[in-house]
Chain A
């Protein structure tokens, strides 16, 4: 290729990199780093769950993300929906989140959600949280979500399916003391919401197929009961 032409393309690329160089570096903490190194496909479907939630919630909404970890999903919700707040009781993860995502559309707090004051959020989401809550505590958790929603707010809960657990690596199963079959998740959600819509996830695809063959469950609750 002619030298002059090559240089022209190079300068075009530097126009791109000049813009990119203005961004601060994003840092992954121990959770996201582990995922990227050991279970990289999980990064893709974890983001697809957040994206699905963002699409259902829509734009111009305020979203509370419970168990936000390092806040990558919270940031996706903030960008897509307008505003998101992430809470997690892991101080280290919340610190990473606060460092990475400094923007008026997002905030993070180290806190135990169960002890926080109620709110009137448009949506409350939590992914990979409820399976870590003792079965006898899950009811209180769902009630607390209701306390944090506006009358027309929606709740989106994602959790691995019971059926998938026998194929999951040990590290993924660790601490999962309350794994749900779809029927139980739906039944418990219906105690707190008038309308419950159930979805299933395999890889990045979220649909309505048989829960027996689903890796992941997503429940959407609308119109909270009082």
Chain B
């Protein structure tokens, strides 16, 4: 066999899959392609913290870009978002026997009792006066032994955010504020920072992105 035949053999095992991305991720990839790397790395961290062998709900899943990572080791995955076209893209690209999607404004709604509730890049878009409703929704969708993972850009990084981000981010959190809200709802709260693709526990005001993991709900 020559090199071409070897390579053809490899390509032959890949199948004929096609995915057409939606508006949101097409925009991101055209304007800031590195974004995909760090967004996926945040999902990888979520998956390591709370998806293996668990049922997972993602509140604010958009086009389901995190679905393959979150569902890889999960028993099932349910993505919810109020953006209709984004959910349509998610369904076309990622719906399968393990993963389902629902178009809905999740605030105040219950979709089941999940082991893990994940919400990345969502809370900064929710008005401060609805923070309580957001966390009650998280709790309502959680089983007795559930955990919650919320990630959001650090308020200390907002000066460096893109104009598009700055318009949408109406309720940015500091690490301390996010952790103190978590403590209202969970006995145990772990706080992490993420810069680029690296998760750490370093000096929180210099973290670009903040993640809280809550378990043992009150």
Chain A: residues with CB nearer than 8 A to chain B? 51-52, 55-56, 58, 151-152, 154, 194-195, 197-198, 206-208, 220, 222-223
Q: By the criterion CB–CB under 8 Å, are B199 and A197 in contact?
A: no
Supposing A55-B201, A194-B145, A207-B198 touch, asked if A223 and B49 sit within 8 A by C-beta, the answer is: no
Q: By the criterion CB–CB under 8 Å, are A223 and B201 in contact?
A: no
A-B contacts besides A195-B215, A208-B44, A222-B215, 9 pairs, CB < 8 Å: A151-B187, A152-B216, A194-B215, A195-B145, A195-B147, A198-B48, A208-B48, A222-B216, A223-B187
Instruction: Give Cα distance in the complex from A162 to B216, angstroms.
Output: 31
Interface centre among B45, B213, B216 (most CB of A within 10 A): B216
Task: Give which listed residue, B188, B190, B198, contacts A223 with CB less than 8 A.
Answer: B188
Instruction: Give Cα distance in the complex from A194 to B198, angstroms.
Output: 27
Task: Give which listed residue, A58, A195, A208, contacts B45 with CB less than 8 A.
Answer: A208
The 0/1 profile, CB within 8 Å of A marked 1, for residues 31-74 of chain B is: 00000000000001100111000000000000000000000000
Supposing A195-B216, A207-B198, A207-B199 touch, asked if A154 and B188 sit within 8 A by C-beta, the answer is: yes
Task: Give which listed residue, A55, A56, A152, A220, contacts B187 with CB less than 8 A.
Answer: A152
Nearest residue, chain B, Cβ from A53? B201
CB distance from B185 to the nearest CB of A (A): 13
Complex interface: chain A residues within 8 A of B45 (CB)? 208
Q: By the criterion CB–CB under 8 Å, are A223 and B48 in contact?
A: no
Nearest residue, chain B, Cβ from A48? B201
Instruction: Give Cα distance in the complex from A207 to B194, angstroms.
Output: 11
Nearest residue, chain B, Cβ from A153? B188
Nearest residue, chain B, Cβ from A224? B216
Complex interface: chain B residues within 8 A of A55 (CB)? 191, 201
The 0/1 profile, CB within 8 Å of A marked 1, for residues 191-208 of chain B is: 100000011010000000
Q: By the criterion CB–CB under 8 Å, are A52 and B215 in contact?
A: no
Interface centre among B44, B45, B49 (most CB of A within 10 A): B49
Complex interface: chain B residues within 8 A of A51 (CB)? 201
Q: By the criterion CB–CB under 8 Å, are B201 and A52 in contact?
A: yes
Instruction: Give Cα distance in the complex from A152 to B214, angstroms.
Output: 12
Q: By the criterion CB–CB under 8 Å, are A194 and B49 in contact?
A: no
| Top 3 closest pairs, chain A to chain B, by CB | A55-B201, A208-B48, A152-B187
Instruction: Give Cα distance in the complex from A55 to B213, angstroms.
Output: 13
In the complex, 13 of the A-B residue pairs with CB atoms within 8 angstroms, ordered by the A residue number, are: A52-B201, A55-B191, A56-B190, A151-B187, A152-B187, A195-B188, A197-B49, A208-B49, A208-B199, A222-B187, A222-B188, A223-B145, A223-B216
CB distance from B208 to the nearest CB of A (A): 16
Instruction: Give Cα distance in the complex from A52 to B193, angstroms.
Output: 12
CB distance from B144 to the nearest CB of A (A): 9
Instruction: Give Cα distance in the complex from A76 to B49, angstroms.
Output: 26
Complex interface: chain A residues within 8 A of B191 (CB)? 55, 58
Instruction: Give Cα distance in the complex from A222 to B50, angstroms.
Output: 13
CB distance from A112 to the nearest CB of B (A): 29
Instruction: Give Cα distance in the complex from A72 to B72, angstroms.
Output: 41
Nearest residue, chain A, Cβ from B217? A223
Instruction: Give Cα distance in the complex from A51 to B201, angstroms.
Output: 9
Complex interface: chain A residues within 8 A of B189 (CB)? 58
CB distance from B175 to the nearest CB of A (A): 11
Instruction: Give Cα distance in the complex from A195 to B198, angstroms.
Output: 23
